[in-house]
Structure 1
Amino acid sequence: MDTLDMFSTPPEHGKPIKIENGEYIYIPNFYDKPTADKYLKRLIEDIKWKQESMNMYGKEIPFPRLTSWYGDQDKPYSFSGITLQPHPWSPGLLKVKKDIELKANVIFNSVLLNRYRDGSDSISWHTDAEKELGENPVIASVNFGAERKFQLKHKDTNERIDIILQHGSLLIMQGELQHYWKHQIPKTKKPLGERVNLTFRVIK
């Protein structure tokens, strides 16, 4: 299995990185550390966090992370057998949304938040290709807190790309990437602090 470490040959930050069947943009210091620190504290304290569960083989399995869904009030989101009704936008989330819209050139109407409490919290291989996201969705991911490894894997070739998502970073996935590449945040035994991830999207 081929693995590409993004930092072995660093691209020019903020430029689209074209890969087979998609592209992404990664900006490691989209927010400076003092600003990112403030957002992390505020998000942990103010967001309405919940541990959702999904049904597998007749059992309720809790997600290995906390989640929350915010956005326009007519935009619920369904995935993994659950449907989330949006909480109203907070001033802080609207500020982040405005910041990233300038870079992504997209007006987002929703955000899924994930809170990873330590290295044992994770998200398994999946795509963000639900029909309500449209044909080629743009997903903008903002990261605060502990650095975590983000992995992309091509469905057909098994090519893998590893990106270390830094505190205050922005990752934009676009083009047909969601149709051909899975992604995950794997578990790690490293002692880690909390991480909050915001994935902004457009619900059609």
Structure 2
Amino acid sequence: MDLFDSPGTFTSIPIEDGALALMARLPLPYANEDILARLIAETPWRQESIVLFGKSHLQPRLTAWYGDASYSYSGLRLDPLPWTPLLAEIRAAVETACGLHFNSVLLNYYRDERDSMGMHSDDEPELGPDPAIASLSYGATRGFVLRHKRNKRTVKLDLHDGSLLLMSGSLQSNWLHGINKSTRAIGERLNLTFRYVV
């Protein structure tokens, strides 16, 4: 059976030292393109500077942080915006699908193929041990790359419009993940990563 014939159901992806599952399409009562357009239009996007290896760099994408708690990574502190009705509805659907509670979401807006996300782990102390991260995608398909921290094995997944990826177990302790730039033209993509900040 093709994974994308079964929207609303998680399919486990075999991976060592962690847990990974993909849902072809998160059930919501709106068209994906409408959700994408509304989120792009309604979000107060920022291009933050982060510190890597002692140097400050502008992130190669736009971001926004919503939720109930502040969050810090790469020398950057994010204070949350209040949940909008649309984000609260999406969060409820993600929580129902995953059977988990999330109190924050990071929105990443990839404007085209030149925007990217460097290899990293979501392993900040305020996420607690073995955090569950639910990653919801809208818009253009982008390749998602995972690389094991010790044996350097890589796993590559295409994250399609409306798909929901759940990373859990010890995945963040053992793997890095990111989105590479591309040499071919790619349209805009929006990614929402739901998490629970302790």
Shift of residue 32 of structure 1?
7.5
**Structure 1 unaligned residues grouped into runs of 5+:** 1-8
Shift of residue 158 of structure 1?
1.2
One of 107, 118, 129 as aligned partner of 1:124: 118
Instruction: Note if contact 1:32-1:168 (Cα within 8 Å) is conserved in structure 2.
Output: no
Shift of residue 27 of structure 1?
1.1
One of 189, 193, 202 as aligned partner of 2:187: 193
Match of 1:112 in 2: 106
Aligned partners of 2:190 and 2:98: how far apart in 1? 20
Paired amino acid for 2:90 = V
Matched, 1:47 2:43: yes
Deviations 1:117-155 (A, max 9, x none): 000100111000001001010000000011000011111
Deviations 1:77-135 (A, max 9, x none): 00010100000000010111000101211110000010000001001110000010010
Match of 1:181 in 2: 175
Aligned partners of 1:57 and 1:105: how far apart in 2? 37
Deviates more, 1:174-183 or 1:20-29: 20-29
Alignment of 1:30-45 (within 5 A): 30-31=26-27, 35-45=31-41
> Residues 125 and 59 (structure 1 numbering): CA distance in 2 closer, same or farther, change over 3 Å?
closer
Shift of residue 177 of structure 1?
0.3
Identity, % of aligned positions: 43
Match of 1:84 in 2: 78
Aligned partners of 1:58 and 1:201: how far apart in 2? 27
Shift of residue 33 of structure 1?
11
Secondary structure in 2 matching 1:192: coil
Higher RCO (CA-CA < 8 Å; seq separation 6+)? 1
Give the paired residue count: 195
Deviations 1:137-191 (A, max 9, x none): 0000000011000011111111111100000110000100000010010000111
> Residues 27 and 161 (structure 1 numbering): CA distance in 2 closer, same or farther, change over 3 Å?
same
Instruction: Note if contact 2:28-2:93 (Cα within 8 Å) is conserved in structure 1.
Output: no
> Residues 24 and 58 (structure 1 numbering): CA distance in 2 closer, same or farther, change over 3 Å?
closer
Secondary structure in 2 matching 1:141: strand
Report the RMSD for the aligned CA atoms in angstroms.
Answer: 2.1
Aligned partners of 2:25 and 2:94: how far apart in 1? 13
Instruction: Note if contact 2:134-2:195 (Cα within 8 Å) is conserved in structure 1.
Output: yes
Instruction: Note if contact 2:3-2:11 (Cα within 8 Å) is conserved in structure 1.
Output: no
Instruction: Note if contact 1:31-1:169 (Cα within 8 Å) is conserved in structure 2.
Output: no
Instruction: Note if contact 2:3-2:24 (Cα within 8 Å) is conserved in structure 1.
Output: no
**Structure 2 unaligned residues grouped into runs of 5+:** none
